[in-house]
Amino acid sequence: MTRVVAKFGGTSVGSVERIRHSAGLIAAAVADGETLAVVVSAMSGETDRLLGLAGEFGAALGDEETDVALAAGEQVSAALMALALREHGLQARSFLGWQAPVFTDGPPGAARIAGMDSVAFETAMDAGIVPVLAGYQGVAENGRLRTLGRGGTDLSAAALAAALGARCDIYTDVDGVFTTDPRIEPKAMRIDAISHDEMLELAAQGAKVLQPRSVEFAKARDVRMRVLSSFLDAGASKGTEIVAVGDIAERRIVSGVAYARDQARLALLGASGKSDMARQAFEALASAEVGVDMIVQAQARTPGSVNLEFSVAHRDLDRAQTALEAALPNAQLSSETGLAKVSVVGAGLRQRADVARSLFGVLGESGIVVKVLATSEIKISALIENDAVERAVRALHAAYGLDQG
Ligand code: ASP
Ligand code: MG
């Protein structure tokens, strides 16, 4: 019998009707002979609402009491889902993170799953009971509740699937992963199968379907993952499968175009040779918890000096500047805001150095200036003006034939 962990995200449990519909999908899978364990997120908007309530008392993410408040969102969903499954004539019971238990380490608000005990789930499933796990939560060694970081229910689901040797179906409000955001490019197409690494890059570059850590986990533990829509009728969602690179039949150079708005560019000009400016800069940024991307280091025009450029999210700009000024008081620091990042991602980029050049050309023809260009093995990102994002996404999507299936 096929074991499946089915995860339902916030919009899939966003109302009583949506919970009933999602429960119907579970009942249909059970009727098909699959053995299911279910993992649920909080109802959409609920985590933000609870975070706001904790905030009224000055508590933010990272406070143990904030985690207790946030975990309540998934607790409610788990109970309601178990009740909805009962309406479908199934036996079901809810499990909170500490009851499973899901063991965590790491800080409140951003804990990691250290391990989990799946015995209670096995026992329930063997007895014909559908277990429903509250996602996004676990218990720390000191006995306190922990949450796993925003979007963490995907990780709960991947971990449970690994523990049970099950496939992991992630239900959301779209029918899988698309070649780009369909709100920007209506010709965006659903991708049948994508590799873990491409999915990770798309997620890291702004695509929001899956939490990146859950994809890393699935890759490391060899969990078969699918993204499906819970908004369609049973069997109607074609979805996207996340697979090992070797398992993709169709070879594409570019798989998708992602974007992230509200980026800033930072440039540091300093003396070369004397000290290791790059190392000092990145250490300072890391301890200020600023994520850095698109790093370019070049010999500056002024002899004897070196130029280091990179992008950060706009919301981190102040923190980044403060940290850099403190760590490198003699370097010249400048910044530019109002920028965005567009990225093309594809496993086929590995062998194709010409794609970077053609990306320049495509954006240039659309009158879009590339401020910084950075490449990794399977991704090329360009920093451009914020208001050119939509044009850039459409131009690249067409240029790489992504609207042609
Ligand atoms: N409810 C949590 C969040 O909104 C976890 C999740 O939905 O995956 O981030
Ligand atoms: Mg999510």
- Residue 48 CA, closest ligand 1 atom number: 4
Check residue 239 and report its DSSP letter.
-
Identity of residue 260? A
217 and 131 share a domain?
yes
pLDDT at residue 405 greater than cutoff 80: no
150 CB near ligand 1 (under 6 Å): yes
**44 Cα to the center of ligand 2, angstroms:** 10
Q: What is the CATH number of the domain that holds 356?
A: 3.30.2130.10
136 CB near ligand 1 (under 6 Å): yes
Helices (H), 13-116: 16-31, 46-55, 64-87
Q: Which of 194, 223, 249 is the last residue of a domain?
A: 249
183 and 299 share a domain?
no
pLDDT at res. 96: 98
- Does residue 404 sit within a domain? no
In angstroms, the CA 401 to CA 55 distance is 46
pLDDT at res. 207: 73
Q: What is the CATH number of the domain that holds 14?
A: 3.40.1160.10
pLDDT at residue 162 greater than cutoff 70: yes
**153 Cα to the center of ligand 2, angstroms:** 7
Number of domains in the chain: 2
In angstroms, the CA 219 to CA 58 distance is 38
263 and 243 share a domain?
no
147 CB near ligand 1 (under 6 Å): no
pLDDT at res. 275: 63
- Residue 156 CA, closest ligand 1 atom number: 8
Run of H or E including 221 = helix 212-221
239 and 364 share a domain?
no
Percent of the chain that is helix, strand, coil (3-state, to 5): 40, 30, 35
- Residue 42 CA, closest ligand 1 atom number: 1
pLDDT confidence bin for 193, thresholds 50/70/90: very high
208 and 144 share a domain?
yes
223 and 261 share a domain?
no
- Residue 150 CA, closest ligand 1 atom number: 9
Q: What does the pLDDT average to over 6-29?
A: 98
Which residue range(s) make up the domain with 13?
3-249
pLDDT at residue 232 greater than cutoff 90: yes
The residue to which tokens 């050119």 are assigned: 388
Least-confidence region, from 94-108, 255-269, 274-288, 310-324: 274-288
Q: What does the pLDDT average to over 17-23?
A: 98
Out of 153, 154, 168, 172, mutate this one to test ligand 1's pocket (max ligand atoms within 8 Å of CB): namely 153
pLDDT at res. 274: 58
Tokens representing 392 are: 């850039």
233 and 340 share a domain?
no
Q: What does the pLDDT average to over 250-256?
A: 83
223 and 284 share a domain?
no
127 and 222 share a domain?
yes
Least-confidence region, from 24-33, 109-118, 296-305: 296-305
Give the closest ligand to the alpha carbon of residue 109.
Answer: 1
- The more confidently predicted of residues 254 and 38 is 38
Q: What does the pLDDT average to over 128-133?
A: 98
- CA-nearest residue, atom 8 of ligand 1: 151
In angstroms, the CA 180 to CA 403 distance is 10
Q: Which of 223, 249, 275 is the last residue of a domain?
A: 249
- Does residue 405 sit within a domain? no
CA nearest 339: which of 307, 397, 293? 293
